Amino acid sequence: MKDLTDLFNSEFKNLYALEKECAEIFEVVQAEIKDPDLLQIAVDLVLECNNQLDLLQQALRDNDINPGNTTDSVAQEMIENLKDISAMKIPQEVKDEGLLASFNRLNYYRMACYENTYELAKKLKYELKDLFYYEK
């Protein structure tokens, strides 16, 4: 990376990968959830991630940024944790609470990634405010 534009492009591609990965895992784990409130959270997260993914895809196209096969290694670790909890043969109440904790962890990481990218966009004077759901 040679400048802030390169860093921004990298972070932007990472957001795309992150939303794609989150939408997939939040949908997959729904089959393991019994608590109706938690299930609704998972459903809502899938919708939110897919909406953000659509916005990101359009913004990537508009800015001629190719996300390639970018993955988010930090998110991958949290996603593996969600898969592990889903597969465990533990009391359902414990499983649901473990999934909720992992949802929260991953969601806060998503917000931090948006904040970082948004701040870079401001420094570069990009007009991307409609893309970001995190705004100060």
Kindly report, residue by residue over 15-31, the tens digit of the pLDDT. 999 999 999 999 999 99
Q: Which domain holds residue 10?
A: 4-131
pLDDT at residue 136 tops 80 = no
The per-residue pLDDT for 134 is 39
CA-angle at 44, arms to 131 and 98, nearest 5°: 115
Percentage with pLDDT > 70 across the chain? 93
User: Which residue type does 136 have?
Assistant: K
CATH number at residue 50: 1.20.1260.10
Asked if the structure places residue 136 within a domain, the reply is no
DSSP symbols for 53-122? HHHHHHHHHHTT---TT---HHHHHHHHHHHHHHH--S-HHHHHHHHHHHHHHHHHHHHHHHHHHHHHHH
CA gap 101, 89 in Å, rounded: 17
The whole-angstrom distance between residue 30's C-alpha and the CA centroid of its chain comes to: 16
User: Which residue type does 108 have?
Assistant: Y
**pLDDT tens digit string along 69-116?**
888 889 999 999 999 999 999 999 999 999 999 999 999 999 999 999
Asked if the structure places residue 99 within a domain, the reply is yes
pLDDT at residue 128 tops 90 = no
Asked if the structure places residue 102 within a domain, the reply is yes
pLDDT at residue 50 tops 90 = yes
**What is the total count of domains within the chain?**
1
